[in-house]
Amino acid sequence: MADINAVAKQFVDFYYQTFAADRKNLKALYREHSMLTFEGTPIQGNTAITEKLESLPFAKVQHKVTTLDAQPSSPNVASVLVSVTGLLLVDDSENPLNFSQVFQLMPEGNTYYVFNDIFRLNYG
């Protein structure tokens, strides 16, 4: 199995850079059976997930990762569970929002795709 921490770091860097540059390009990371739970609302399929991400009401976004943890998520498949916490800066706001996001990455050939994605803003 590949070094899961390296896989997680590479994935998270790519995901958030792509999110900031052009969210529609995230579609390639999901499959039709992939699931996103965004603020408690479940969304399934790469097209529906991408439409949701593209519809978010901001033009610019920057994710500042505070913590990144990874674990193998199956004894039989080289899947990876990735947990991220951090700060989210949208548009020209000076007040960052706290967020947490969990990804389950499944192997596919020499790469991974997002099987599960859970995103929450953390208030309080």
How confident is the model over 97-106, as pLDDT tens digits? 999 999 999 9
Q: Which CATH number fits domain 4-121: 3.40.50.300, 3.40.720.10, 3.30.2020.30, 3.10.450.50?
A: 3.10.450.50
C-alpha distances in Å from residue 121, one per residue of 32, 52, 53, 64, 124: 25, 16, 14, 13, 10
Q: Where are the alpha helices (DSSP H) in 22-78?
A: 46-54
Domain ranges of the chain: 4-121
Q: What is the pLDDT of residues 20-62, one digit of tens each?
A: 999 999 999 999 999 999 999 999 999 999 999 999 999 999 9
Cβ distance 85 to 99 under 8 Å? yes
Cβ(72)–Cβ(102) below 8 Å: no
Structure pTM?
0.94
